[in-house]
Amino acid sequence: ADMYRSVLRVAGRIALPAVLAAGTVATGSLSRCNDEVVEPAEYPWSHKGVLGAYDTPSIRRGYQVYKEVCASCHSMKFLHYRNLVGVCYTEEEAKVLAEDIEVTDGPNDEGEMFERPGKLTDPFPSPYENEEQARSINNGALPPDLSLIAKARHGGEDYLFALLTGYREPPVGVSVNESAGQYYNPYFPGSKIGMPKQLIDGGVEYDDGTEANASQMAKDVCTFLTWAAEPHQDARKKEGGKLLVALSILAFLAGFNKRLRWSPYKTQKFTYFK
């Protein structure tokens, strides 16, 4: 009897975590079905993969889309103008961009705050003074900061691209109160989003002459947001490649040294005499 009880206890310890895990998976599946969320497709981004790298012109165009379209509602508090230097703008160009904003600084010698042109060390300006102002302007919704949005959302840039280009008319049976600031987007959890469609063909005039249709603008701003969330990705891949090459050379030298040192012992012949 004691042996049977021991076996049952061990079986219970093994089975209980499996049951809980299965329940968690089932609950997650049910919640996803209830949310009616459409999974975004996987797009062939240039920066994906081991050998992929960021599309620098796309980052520059994406910043332009953010500045002219997104910055009126969304902040990027972790990004500074100096981060653009050497990536998509020269130092002089970045200084000109920074000088377009007015920054409250101080106090001065008289103890008063003053306004000055922006500098490379300044962060991107926030469109709101505080969270309460942001909510009051946006019908109670708080526009998220976009500094790390590509990492903070499941699906990353694929989800962001699908969300920006996924606005549709609500299907039969789905009611959306547009007067209350709701819009239908099947890629957003619950399918009702507080942000109207922002990207419209021709909404931005690119400096390099690229045609600014909605898909192109979505692709560029998603590339920019992905770079903002992980700006050192390309450098990390280069260092990883160098490390792999070095390890390969060391492995070859180690193998050659092993064969060189042990070959005499493996090839020598022992003769025994009685």
Phi, psi of 6 (to 5 degrees): -65, -40
pLDDT over 50 (residue 20): no
- CA dist 35 and 95 (Å) reads 45
Sequence-distant (6+) residues with CB within 8 A of 231 are: 83, 87
pLDDT, greater one: 272 or 247: 247
pTM over 0.85: no
Model pLDDT for residues 170-213, shown as the tens digit of each residue: 988 888 888 788 899 999 998 999 899 999 999 999 999 999 99
- CA dist 30 and 138 (Å) reads 31
Q: What is the pLDDT of residue 38?
A: 87
Model pLDDT for residues 63-115, shown as the tens digit of each residue: 999 999 999 999 999 999 999 999 999 999 999 999 999 988 888 888 888 89
212 in Cβ contact with 201 (< 8 Å): yes
Q: How confident is the prediction for the chain on average, in pLDDT?
A: 86
Model pLDDT for residues 220-258, shown as the tens digit of each residue: 999 999 999 999 999 999 999 999 999 999 999 999 988
Determine the average pLDDT of the residues in 29-47.
72
- CA dist 268 and 250 (Å) reads 28
Sequence-distant (6+) residues with CB within 8 A of 195 are: 73, 141, 143, 183
Q: What is the pLDDT of residue 74?
A: 96
Burial bucket for residue 148 (CB in 10 Å: 0-12, 13-18, 19+): middle
Q: Name the 3-class secondary structure at 15.
A: helix
